């Protein structure tokens, strides 16, 4: 077992950013002023499988669109931290860790841009990013998905973890 697979095998919690991770980072604007995002259905399926398998899944995002929140709630994500200042995502992360007594080397966090840097640079955390993350983020991540944000990167990391733990698509066997 290589070092990365061994780290995947310890993960119990997934934490994701939204824009640029669960979406491709595009913002679509309607005449009404509503700004909506497009999500990848395969990422959603991966999240559903992770939750069914007993993983904790959380969201930390500076964005705060109601449509995004509804999508996340539809996926049965219970811990949704949205709307804080971009430079304060670390506070939401540390608060979640404290509140739920999370062990940092059992957490995989996926982000794509500078507001995620303070979290992703933490050495005990398994840091991940999509293939199209900014250079500064890629430089501190343990795992760079071959998939872009909103193009299956979330599904990829979930599969990597669940395969390392022997519980991805167990119903196929």
Binding-site residues: 17, 19, 112
DSSP annotation string for 39-89: --HHHHHHHHHHHHTT-EEEEEES---HHHHHHHHHTT--EEEESS-GGGH
Question: Across the chain, which distance is largest between two alpha carbons, in Å?
Answer: 53
Q: How far apart are the first and last CA of the chain?
A: 22
Binding residues for Mg(2+): 17, 112
Q: Indicate the annotated binding residues for substrate.
A: 19
Give CA–CA dist 56/46, Å, rounded.
13
């Amino acid at each position: 077992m290589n070092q990365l697979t061994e780290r995947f095998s310890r993960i119990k919690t997934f934490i994701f950013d939204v824009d640029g991770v669960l979406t491709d980072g595009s913002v679509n604007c309607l005449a009404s002023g509503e700004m909506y995002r497009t999500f990848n259905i395969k990422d959603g399926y991966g999240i559903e499988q992770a939750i069914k398998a007993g993983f904790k899944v959380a969201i930390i995002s500076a964005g705060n669109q109601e449509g995004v929140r509804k999508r996340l709630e539809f996926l049965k994500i219970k811990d949704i931290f949205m709307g804080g200042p971009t430079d304060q995502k670390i506070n939401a992360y540390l608060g979640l860790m404290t509140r739920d007594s999370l062990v940092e080397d059992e957490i995989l966090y996926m982000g794509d841009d500078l507001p995620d840097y303070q979290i992703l640079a933490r050495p005990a955390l398994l840091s991940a990013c999509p293939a199209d993350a900014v250079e500064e983020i890629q430089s501190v991540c343990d795992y760079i998905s071959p998939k872009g944000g909103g193009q299956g990167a979330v599904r990829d990391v979930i599969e990597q973890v669940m395969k390392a733990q022997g519980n991805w698509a167990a119903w196929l066997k």
